[in-house]
Amino acid sequence: MREMVATALRLKGYEVRTAGDGLAGLRLLDAYEPDLVVLDLGLPIVSGLDVVNELRAIAKTRRTPLIAISGQDQQLRLAKDTNEFMATIAKPFDPQTLVRAVDRVMKQPGL
């Protein structure tokens, strides 16, 4: 699913980096400053919500917009309660659903 979504975003002209777990995603920040982070809340090694805490502790990602995806309703409710995410998407989803959410977020003033 990660590669399908990445391909759909690339076809829309977005530059995409992917990681298979939260720790690998955080390591990407050593060489890359994202304009937006799409975060699976059910990541292995470092959970999605722990990744959010790390992102907010780093100056260059303190205000980076976030989109949450999850197959668990409870995780999505927690994500909404944090007020950190500009969109939440329940799994399973069509890749175009995520593309539309990314387009919507990236069109927000100030981004």
pLDDT in tens, the chain (111 residues): 889 889 999 999 999 999 999 999 999 999 999 999 999 998 888 888 899 999 999 999 999 999 999 999 999 999 999 999 999 999 999 999 999 999 999 999 876
Q: Which domains does the chain have, with CATH numbers?
A: 2-98 (3.40.50.2300)
End-to-end CA distance of the chain: 26
Contacts of 35 (CB under 8 A, 6+ apart): 64, 65, 106, 111
Q: How many CA atoms lie within 13 A of 73 on its CB side?
A: 0
| Chain position carrying tokens 């994202």 | 34
- H/E run at residue 87: strand 87-90
The first and second tokens of residue 29, run together, are 């920040």
- Residue 81 pLDDT: 93
- Residue 67 pLDDT: 97
